[in-house]
Chain A
Amino acid sequence: MSVQTAGLTWDRVRSYRPPQRYIPVLATLALLVVMYSIGVSNYRAFSNVQVILNVFIDNGFLVVVGVGMTFVILTGGIDLSVGSVVAMTTMIVSSMLQNGAWPAPVVLVVALLAGPALGFVMGCIIHYFNIQPFIVTLAGMFFARGMCTWISTSAIPIADPTWETLAQSRIRFGSSNFVSPSVVIAFAVVLIAVYVLGYTRIGRNTYAVGGNQQSALLMGLPVGRTKIAVYTISGLCSAIGGILFSFYTLSGYPLGAIGMELDAIAAVVIGGTLLTGGSGYVLGTVLGVLTLGLIQTLITFDGTLSSWWTKIVIGALLFAFILLQRLIGLARKIR
Chain B
Amino acid sequence: MTSMNTVANQRWKALAAHRLFWPVAVLLALLVANVIYRPSFLSIELLQGHLYGSLIDIVRLSAPLILVALGMTLVIATGGIDLSVGSVVAICGAIACLRISQQSDQNSVGGVLSALAVAMVLSLVLGAWNGLLVAGIGIQPIIATLLLMVAGRGLAQLITSGQIITINSSPYKLIGAGFWLTLPFAIFIAVAVTVVAALVTRRTALGMLIEAVGGNAEASRLAGIRSRRFIFTVYVFSAFCAGIAGFMITSNVSSADGNSAGLWIELDAILAVVIGGTSLAGGRFSIGGTILGALIIQTLTTTVYSINITPQTSLLFKALVVIIVCLVQSPAFRASLAHRFRRAAPRPPAPPGPTSPDAPVAEIAVEETPMEVQR
CB-CB contacts of B271-290 with A at 8 A, as 1s and 0s?
A: 10010000011000000000
Distance between B206 CB and nearest chain A CB, rounded to angstroms: 26
B10 within 8 A of A: no
Distance between A240 CB and nearest chain B CB, rounded to angstroms: 23
Contact stretch, chosen from B28-36, B103-111, B207-215, B312-320: B312-320
Q: Which residue of A lies closest to B327 (CB)?
A: A129
Q: Are A309 and B346 also in contact (CB < 8 A) when A150-B316, A315-B147, A318-B146 are?
A: no
Q: Are A308 and B150 also in contact (CB < 8 A) when A135-B280, A142-B315, A322-B144 are?
A: no
* In the complex, number of A-B residue pairs with CB atoms less than 8 Å apart: 137
B146, B155, B344, B348 — which one has the most chain A CB atoms within 10 A of its CB?
B146
A193 within 8 A of B: no
A153, A316, A326: which contacts B312 (Cβ < 8 A)?
Answer: A153
Find out whether the CB atom of B319 lies under 8 angstroms from the CB atom of A131: no
Distance between A258 CB and nearest chain B CB, rounded to angstroms: 9
In chain B, residues 80-104, which have Cβ atoms closer than 8 Å to a Cβ of chain A? 81
B125 within 8 A of A: no
A15 within 8 A of B: no
Residues of A within 8 A of B332 (CB): 128-130
Find out whether the CB atom of A306 lies under 8 angstroms from the CB atom of B267: no
Residues of B within 8 A of A142 (CB): 315-316, 318-319, 322
In chain B, residues 175-226, which have Cβ atoms closer than 8 Å to a Cβ of chain A? none
State in angstroms the CA–CA spacing of A314 and B327 once bound together.
Answer: 36
Find out whether the CB atom of B347 lies under 8 angstroms from the CB atom of A308: no
A156 within 8 A of B: no
Find out whether the CB atom of A128 lies under 8 angstroms from the CB atom of B344: yes
In chain B, residues 332-375, which have Cβ atoms closer than 8 Å to a Cβ of chain A? 332-333, 336, 344, 346-350
Contact stretch, chosen from A17-25, A163-171, A229-237, A261-269: A261-269
Is chain B's interface secondary structure helix, strand, loop, or mixed overall?
helix
A131, A146, A224, A275: which contacts B140 (Cβ < 8 A)?
Answer: A275
Find out whether the CB atom of B154 lies under 8 angstroms from the CB atom of A150: no
Find out whether the CB atom of B326 lies under 8 angstroms from the CB atom of A136: yes
Is chain A's interface secondary structure helix, strand, loop, or mixed overall?
helix
State in angstroms the CA–CA spacing of A134 and B142 once bound together.
Answer: 10
State in angstroms the CA–CA spacing of A308 and B160 once bound together.
Answer: 11
Residues of A within 8 A of B137 (CB): 323, 326
Find out whether the CB atom of A146 lies under 8 angstroms from the CB atom of B142: no
A147 within 8 A of B: yes
State in angstroms the CA–CA spacing of A311 and B152 once bound together.
Answer: 8
Distance between B37 CB and nearest chain A CB, rounded to angstroms: 20
* Size bracket, chain B contacts: 35 or more
* Size bracket, chain A contacts: 35 or more
State in angstroms the CA–CA spacing of A46 and B131 once bound together.
Answer: 40
Find out whether the CB atom of A150 lies under 8 angstroms from the CB atom of B312: yes
Find out whether the CB atom of B319 lies under 8 angstroms from the CB atom of A146: yes
Distance between A326 CB and nearest chain B CB, rounded to angstroms: 6
A178 within 8 A of B: no
A125, A276, A319 — which one has the most chain B CB atoms within 10 A of its CB?
A319
Find out whether the CB atom of B312 lies under 8 angstroms from the CB atom of A262: no
Q: Which residue of B lies closest to A274 (CB)?
A: B140
Find out whether the CB atom of B154 lies under 8 angstroms from the CB atom of A315: yes
B310, B323, B344 — which one has the most chain A CB atoms within 10 A of its CB?
B323
Find out whether the CB atom of B331 lies under 8 angstroms from the CB atom of A130: yes
B126 within 8 A of A: no
B233 within 8 A of A: no
State in angstroms the CA–CA spacing of A3 and B280 once bound together.
Answer: 63
Find out whether the CB atom of A128 lies under 8 angstroms from the CB atom of B346: yes
B7 within 8 A of A: no
Find out whether the CB atom of A128 lies under 8 angstroms from the CB atom of B336: yes
B270, B316, B330: which contacts A143 (Cβ < 8 A)?
Answer: B316
Find out whether the CB atom of B350 lies under 8 angstroms from the CB atom of A130: yes
B72 within 8 A of A: no
Residues of A within 8 A of B350 (CB): 130
State in angstroms the CA–CA spacing of A132 and B282 once bound together.
Answer: 12
Residues of A within 8 A of B142 (CB): 78, 134, 275
Find out whether the CB atom of B274 lies under 8 angstroms from the CB atom of A130: no
State in angstroms the CA–CA spacing of A319 and B206 once bound together.
Answer: 31
Residues of A within 8 A of B117 (CB): none
In chain A, residues 135-174, which have Cβ atoms closer than 8 Å to a Cβ of chain B? 135-136, 138-143, 145-147, 149-150, 153
CB-CB contacts of B291-324 with A at 8 A, as 1s and 0s?
A: 0000000000000000000101111111110110
Residues of A within 8 A of B148 (CB): 315
Distance between B188 CB and nearest chain A CB, rounded to angstroms: 31
CB-CB contacts of A295-335 with B at 8 A, as 1s and 0s?
A: 00000000000111111101110110011001000000000
Find out whether the CB atom of B270 lies under 8 angstroms from the CB atom of A138: yes
Q: Which residue of B lies closest to A330 (CB)?
A: B138
Residues of A within 8 A of B313 (CB): 146, 149-150
Residues of A within 8 A of B60 (CB): none
Residues of B within 8 A of A311 (CB): 150-151, 153-154, 157
A127, A135, A307 — which one has the most chain B CB atoms within 10 A of its CB?
A135
Q: Are A262 and B149 also in contact (CB < 8 A) when A128-B346, A146-B318, A146-B319 are?
A: yes
CB-CB contacts of A46-89 with B at 8 A, as 1s and 0s?
A: 00000000000000000000000000000000100000000000
* Sample (19) of A-B pairs whose CB atoms are under 8 Å apart: A128-B344, A129-B326, A129-B336, A130-B347, A132-B281, A134-B142, A142-B322, A146-B314, A146-B319, A149-B310, A266-B150, A306-B157, A309-B158, A310-B154, A312-B151, A312-B158, A318-B151, A319-B147, A326-B137
Q: Which A residues fall within an 8 A CB radius of B?
A: 78, 125, 127-132, 134-136, 138-143, 145-147, 149-150, 153, 214, 223-224, 254, 262, 265-266, 269, 275-276, 306-312, 314-316, 318-319, 322-323, 326
Q: A135-B274, A138-B270, A139-B318 are in contact. List 15 more A-B contacts (CB 8 A).
A: A131-B326, A135-B280, A139-B322, A139-B323, A146-B317, A147-B316, A149-B312, A254-B312, A308-B153, A308-B162, A311-B150, A311-B157, A315-B152, A318-B146, A322-B147
Shortest 3 CB-CB distances between A and B: which pairs? A315-B151, A311-B154, A146-B316
